[in-house]
A and B are shown apart, each in its own frame.
Chain A
Amino acid sequence: MAGNLTQYRSWGGYPRAQHVAVARPAWRDQLAAIVAESGPWLPFGNGRSYGDVCLNDGGKLIDMRGLDRFIAFDDEQGIVHCEAGTLLAEILALAVPRGWFVQVTPGTRFVTVGGAIANDVHGKNHHRVGSFGCHVRALTLLRSDGTLLHCSREENSDWFAATIGGLGLTGTIVSAELQLRRITSPLIRQQSIRMYNLREFFELSAESERDYEYTVSWIDCLAQGANMGRGWFFRGNHATGTRGPTHGQGTQLKFPIESPVSLVNHWSLRAFNALYYRKQWADRATTTVHYQPFFYPLDGILNWNRMYGKRGFLQYQCVVPPDCAYEATSEMLKRIANAGEGSFLVVLKVFGDKPSPGMLSFPRPGATLALDFPYRGTSTLALLNSLDEIVFEAGGALYPAKDARMSGAHFRASFPQWERFKTYIDPAHSSSLWRRVMQGEAS
């Protein structure tokens, strides 16, 4: 039952939480007895969410990684049914050789299916296919009173909508059935295009939506003035031929120890950004790459979060509505560049208008900006607060899976269905994030 309590951290390492117990079920039939004990409980997947959405300070966790069995794999229809602790990496290892791929993948394949549903994650093809939840055919949800709910768009559809993006609070997701998509090759035909400024990003996004399934961009967050928003625009499609690299990340590097101080600082950031912006001579280059480096560049280095040192880091991901996306994004980039903060990986992408199925789903039409900040105390928090002003003034939202600090008022304003959602919360479930964003709200 015990396990090492200290190993349960979020990816950002900020904030830290003290859990009083961790249950580690190995079988589906053990879950009911676990959640019948006094909580509050929170299912914990593979610890890839950044802030405190996967933490339950003072409460208990259910480590779901022991539940990683496939229940069925339908080769004809491309439907995979598996336990909630199964990693997307494990699904891909099985599916890709058989000509199938997940419909939606986030930037790491080391997330569990349960975590991907609970955070309703998105990928580089949001403008085409919507969020992860759009491709969940069904899920089973265990409530702490022992009820097992089979949920889909037809059956218990309200529970389905509450549980997708439901932050693990509606009960424990036991298993799920996912629809996969056909591929004829494990390769991606990718084009990288140099962008000279932010305006070009929006032009390229609009131009690429029709012909490219995957689009994303990297921004040099230190560039100012006329260069603001410069970077690389990446777009790609699943390749149809098989000519190209046959292996992905064969050997994985591992960040060996936690650095005592953050290795991401003003100088390393300036050097990296300057070099990366000049990574190739041509303004445009088309290459065929394996799907792993295309979707998961950071999965090549295990535990890369350790480079931020023991104080950890904060990830900031927001979405701002389409009508003010350019103004809001440029204002944010200006403030970040002025502060000289930010990180190597700054990602900008335009979401499509396919509705997300969850009551608390984050993806919605607009531009989404994501970047990490090494945690340096109050100066970091002050910068993020000033970014909040822009986001919420514009009517945008922050992504709970990445958040460690947004105010309750902001959460409630940007997830207007929170009150309805609340009635679906399992009385034995809670999380650090939920208690934080409910502060100041009379219950």
Chain B
Amino acid sequence: MRKVLIVGATSAIVNATARCFASEGDRLFLVARNSERLEQVADDLRARGAADVHCHVMDANDFAAHAAMIDAAREAMGGLDTVLIGHGTLSDQQACQQSVERTFAEFNTNCLSYLSLLTLLGNHFEQQKHGVIAVISSVAGLRGRQSNYVYGAAKAAVIAFTQGLRNRLAKHGVAVVDVRPGFVDTPMTAHFDKGLLWAKPKQVGARIHKAMVRGEDIVYAPFFWRWIMLIIRLIPEAVFKRLSL
């Protein structure tokens, strides 16, 4: 039975992944901001078969609360061997361009809170010498585009940080999984028109669960984003800067 810490448990993709752990009878420790919604998620995961489910209300931007949250998770579950970090906000690029505060706020949520959690958890897992840490980054972190570069830059930092952490922890038997979802039809993206490239959270969640169980390194979800992003990264900058992406 896994002892799984889930940060951002009310997000659609994370929730879909949590359902996979629940149906395998794992022990779950859920973290999110909204206590009422967190309880609804917990009820669902209990019904789906989770061995037990603990709720912890925390704003990921409250960095000072991170260490106590991790201690609480270890205490409640009698250990900790699996982590999924997947909270986030889809930044309003236009608004960020007009406001330094807003840009930094997006960085707090989508980048610095990840780095804080990964620093604390990295040390724990390094000593423990087993387990899986997974983060949800984004294909947006692979190349800056005018429509979404504040979010993309935050995720780019998460990607590089995760890569370094994986390099550090590999020799200690700890897997660090970087999940890069493409377009996913969630409440966060409700205002977009959906085309063929859009995936459902259930599908992406199942892929993340599989990657975590296997301890994979870098995962694109769905898979075809690996090839789309390869092409996007191969476009010479002289051309790329003229595109309206």
Interface residues of A (CB under 8 A from B): 1-4, 24, 26-29, 66, 69-73, 80, 82, 94
Contacts and interface: CB of A to CB of B under 8 A. Distances in A.
B194 A27 contact: no
Contacts of A28: 40
Interface string B155-191: 0000000000000000000000000000000010011
A2 B37 contact: no
Contact of B40 (A2, A3, A27): A27
A82 B194 CA distance: 28
Contacts of B193: 2, 4
A26 B40 contact: no
Given A1-B191, A27-B37, A28-B40, A70 B48 contact: yes
A248 B17 CA distance: 24
A24 B44 contact: no
Nearest to B41: A69
Contacts of B191: 1-2
A69 B43 contact: yes
B36 interface: yes
A204 to B, nearest CB: 40
23 contacts: A1-B190, A1-B191, A2-B191, A3-B194, A4-B194, A26-B12, A26-B187, A27-B37, A27-B40, A29-B36, A29-B37, A66-B187, A69-B40, A69-B41, A70-B43, A70-B48, A71-B43, A71-B47, A73-B47, A73-B48, A82-B47, A94-B47, A94-B48
B190 A71 contact: no
A387 to B, nearest CB: 40
Contact of B190 (A24, A29, A69): A24
A27 to B, nearest CB: 6
B59 to A, nearest CB: 18
Interface in B32-55: 36-37, 40-41, 43-44, 46-49
B41 A3 contact: no
A4 B198 CA distance: 12
A72 B47 contact: yes
A94 B46 CA distance: 12
B190 A70 contact: no
Interface in B183-229: 187, 190-191, 193-194
Contacts of A73: 46-48
Given A1-B190, A2-B193, A69 B44 contact: yes
B35 to A, nearest CB: 12
Output the residue of A4, A26, A66 with the most chain B CB within 10 A: A26
A182 B4 CA distance: 32
Contacts of B187: 24, 26, 66
A24 B46 CA distance: 25
A56 B214 CA distance: 46
Contacts of A27: 37, 40
A1 B46 CA distance: 30
A3 B49 CA distance: 32
A37 to B, nearest CB: 15
Shortest Cβ-Cβ A-B pairs, 4 listed: A70-B47, A69-B44, A73-B47, A26-B187
Contacts of B12: 26
A3 B195 CA distance: 10
Nearest to B185: A3
A80 B44 CA distance: 11
Given A3-B194, A4-B193, 18 more contacts: A1-B190, A1-B191, A2-B191, A2-B193, A4-B194, A26-B187, A27-B40, A29-B36, A69-B40, A69-B43, A70-B43, A71-B40, A71-B43, A72-B43, A73-B47, A73-B48, A80-B47, A94-B49
B185 to A, nearest CB: 8
A112 B41 CA distance: 19
B129 to A, nearest CB: 35
A70 B194 contact: no
A26 B41 CA distance: 11
A128 B186 CA distance: 42
A199 B36 CA distance: 59
A3 B190 contact: yes
Interface in B41-74: 41, 43-44, 46-49
Contacts of B43: 69-72
Contacts of B44: 69-71
B91 to A, nearest CB: 19
B86 to A, nearest CB: 15
Contacts of A3: 190, 194
A61 to B, nearest CB: 14
A123 to B, nearest CB: 24
Contacts of A29: 36-37
Contacts of A71: 40, 43-44, 47
B23 to A, nearest CB: 8
A83 to B, nearest CB: 9
A1 B48 CA distance: 29
A76 to B, nearest CB: 14
Contacts of B190: 1-3, 24
Contacts of B49: 94
Output the residue of B37, B44, B46, B187 with the most chain A CB within 10 A: B44
A201 B12 CA distance: 49
A70 B45 CA distance: 8
